[in-house]
Amino acid sequence: MDGMTAPTARKVLLAAPRGYCAGVDRAVIAVEKALEQYGAPVYVRHEIVHNKYVVKTLEKKGAIFVDETAEVPEGNIVIFSAHGVAPVVHEEAERGKLATIDATCPLVTKVHKEAVRFAKEDYDILLIGHEGHEEVIGTSGEAPDHITLVDGPGDVAGVEVRDPDKVVWLSQTTLSVDETMETVGALQQKFPNLISPPSDDICYATQNRQTAVKQMGADADLVIVVGSKNSSNSVRLVEVALGAGAKDAHLVDYAEEIDEAWLEGVSTVGVTSGASVPEILVEGVLEWLAQRGYGDVETITSAQESITFSLPKELRRDLRAEAAGKLAGGESA
Ligand code: 0O3
Ligand code: SF4
């Protein structure tokens, strides 16, 4: 802060909820348990979640991240990431004689199932999402002939369907709620009989983290979002913070990436993190800020979360079998 204007009152507003959602927690634990259960290496198709630190930590424990199942040597185990995969990827794994553990978040699977159902009923499905994002590739793969990607309100004018009275919209789980509603509004103008998904596709965790950052945004001179650049939900939090009135907002993987110049004239710093971000990284940011006079932390809570998901079924089966084996071994001894 040398040579900078240091405001007298300095504080941090810490958003809650923030960080790990139930789907990420389950996916990361799935890789850890698989390493314990089967031993290293365990292959993972794509980053298990979009976080540099998580990927590095799991690599150190013996996980090998690959882009495609074809890279996994025959007979090995491959874990599918939390973002989900297209059915063709399951088929590839079967052809490659790979054992699979599907760590797709159940809330992503729910969207896959909606896509399959509407495609069976021969609807045109307008999938709102970001082009090239893994989740969108996976969901689209469930019904490629029925799904058209709509990447924001700007895409709506160019959308064409077979029958404007038989159209449904679905979405990626990690989008901006407000921008998605804008896209839906524009689609409804174009297709007045457009059907909405049976329940929210943007998941509870995405919505809660955006609500929390909105609540603090207007009071913050600077918002620091902890998360990786390829994490859609983390990137959205920066946009939501700015939209809510934060004067400045940045995404950082680690505290070391914070630029001291961002603190120039800043009294209130908002801190939050994406759904794929371990709390240890937020703690690092809070320490960094405390060392610069921002040690007064107020938590702004906008929702309580208690949702958890059980581990992928393949892993539960093997963990159960091992526990039963140990028990039987113990009994006979
Ligand atoms: O989908 P996104 O890029 O936000 O993915 P992250 O950062 O890994 O967060 C978890 C979300 C997810 C696995 C799909 O909903
Ligand atoms: Fe599941 Fe939502 Fe987390 Fe994605 S952000 S993994 S959909 S809980």
Q: Residue 135 — pLDDT band, cuts 50, 70, 90?
A: very high
Cα–Cα nearest to 21, from 173, 170, 176: 173
Overall average pLDDT of the 114-135 stretch = 98
CA dist list (Å): 64 to 31, 304, 317 = 10, 35, 23
CA of 109 to the centre of ligand 2 (A): 10
Q: Residue 325 — pLDDT band, cuts 50, 70, 90?
A: confident
CA of 111 to the centre of ligand 1 (A): 14
**Mapping DSSP to helix (H, G, I), strand (E, B) and coil, where does residue 204 land?**
helix
Question: Can you tell me which atom of ligand 1 is nearest the CA of 277?
Answer: 7
Peptide bond into 17 cis (omega under 30): yes
Per-residue pLDDT of 267-300, as tens digits, reads 999 999 999 999 999 999 999 999 999 999 999 9
Say yes or no to pLDDT of 119 above 80.
yes
CA of 83 to the centre of ligand 1 (A): 6
Per-residue pLDDT of 81-105, as tens digits, reads 999 999 999 999 999 999 999 999 9
Instruction: Indicate which ligand has the atom closest to the C-alpha of 231.
Output: 1
Overall average pLDDT of the 248-268 stretch = 98
From 47, 114, 135, 142, active-site residue: 135
Say yes or no to pLDDT of 134 above 90.
yes
Is 273 annotated as ligand-binding? no
**Is the distance from the beta carbon of residue 206 to the nearest atom of ligand 2 less than 6 Å?**
yes
**How many CB atoms within 10 Å of residue 154?**
10
Q: Are 128 and 175 in contact (CB under 8 A)?
A: yes
Q: Residue 328 — pLDDT band, cuts 50, 70, 90?
A: confident
Q: How far apart are CA 263 and CA 220, in angstroms?
A: 12
Output the ligand 1 site: residues, CB below 6 A.
Answer: 23-24, 49-50, 82-83, 105, 108, 135, 173-174, 231-234, 274-276
Is 250 annotated as ligand-binding? no
Mutate to test the pocket of ligand 1, among 276, 281, 307 (most ligand atoms within 8 A of CB): 276
Residue 88, both tokens? 């063709």
Q: What angle do CA 98, 103, 106 make, to 5 degrees?
A: 135
Per-residue pLDDT of 169-220, as tens digits, reads 999 999 999 999 999 999 999 999 999 999 999 999 999 999 999 999 999 9
Q: Are 232 and 130 in contact (CB under 8 A)?
A: yes
Q: How far apart are CA 162 and CA 233, in angstroms?
A: 32
Say yes or no to pLDDT of 331 above 60.
no
Peptide bond into 41 cis (omega under 30): yes
**How many CB atoms within 10 Å of residue 245?**
13
Overall average pLDDT of the 8-37 stretch = 97
Per-residue pLDDT of 24-81, as tens digits, reads 999 999 999 999 999 999 999 999 999 999 999 999 999 999 999 999 999 999 999 9
pLDDT for residue 332: 42
Overall average pLDDT of the 136-147 stretch = 98
